[in-house]
Amino acid sequence: MSFIVIEGGEGSGKGTLMQALQTRYADERVVFSREPGGTPLAEEIRHCLLQPRDEPVASDTELLLMFASRAQHLAQVIEPALARGDTVICDRFTDSSYAYQGVARGLGAERVEWLEQFVQGERRPDLVVILDLEPALGQARIAGRLEPKDRLDAEDLAFHQAVRNAYLARAQQAPQRYRVIDAEQSPDAVFEQVMSAIQACRS
């Protein structure tokens, strides 16, 4: 039983990695999920959060909706899976709130900490893998994608630079729980390194 989170900015290869992990763990008791989202209600909150809209979204609203989605996801998916003894691999979790809302939106770590305590109690991931990539490189990688950018991905390069720095700063604070992987490497090399981090965490 382990709770593993994969984090990374746009173009970092998070989607490709999650697919490779799902294939690798297809026959094992591993639950894959994502945030915001992961249950029907939480997916509705995701849609509200990420859809581009004319009305400005207050940063506090954004933060609270992220944690509303998280509360539902924890109650319906993550906690029951861990209680059954399954491993959970989640595409994003609270480190995204620290990086995007706490730092890039400028809300500060204290409010995120407060909500983390309120919504999660003692629950923290056992391992957070950060796919680290220079944001300009990430943007170049996704330049050919057809789907429109979501409301947060559409922010400027300085915003994404702040997100990256925030991830790296969090990894430095608790190196035993984080594994920073150079996402400039090939998808295969990234997958191998992530697998060894996950295996060490599960053993």
Measured CA to CA, the distance from residue 127 to residue 136 in angstroms comes to: 27
Q: Is the CA virtual torsion 113, 119, 123, 124 positive or negative?
A: negative
Min separation Cβ 72 and ligand TMP, Å: 13
Residue 164 near ligand TMP by CB under 6 A: no
Min separation Cβ 59 and ligand TMP, Å: 10
Residue 97 near ligand TMP by CB under 6 A: yes
Q: Give the SS3 label for residue 130.
A: strand
Q: Is the CA virtual torsion 30, 122, 80, 75 positive or negative?
A: negative
Residue 120 near ligand TMP by CB under 6 A: no
Residue 150 near ligand TMP by CB under 6 A: yes
Site for ligand TMP in 47-66 (CB under 6 A): 50, 66
Going along 2-106, which residue ranges are E strands? 3-8, 30-34, 87-91
Residue 100 near ligand TMP by CB under 6 A: yes
Residue 35 near ligand TMP by CB under 6 A: yes
Min separation Cβ 42 and ligand TMP, Å: 10
Residue 138 near ligand TMP by CB under 6 A: no
| DSSP letter for each residue of 91-116 | E--HHHIIIIIIIIS---HHHHHHHH
Of the ranges 73-81, 91-99, 177-185, 195-203, which one interacts with ligand TMP (CB under 6 A)? Answer: 91-99
Q: How far is CA 58 from CA 25, 101, 118, in A?
A: 39, 11, 21
Binding residues vs ligand TMP (CB under 6 A): 34-36, 50, 66, 91-92, 96-97, 100-101, 150, 152-153
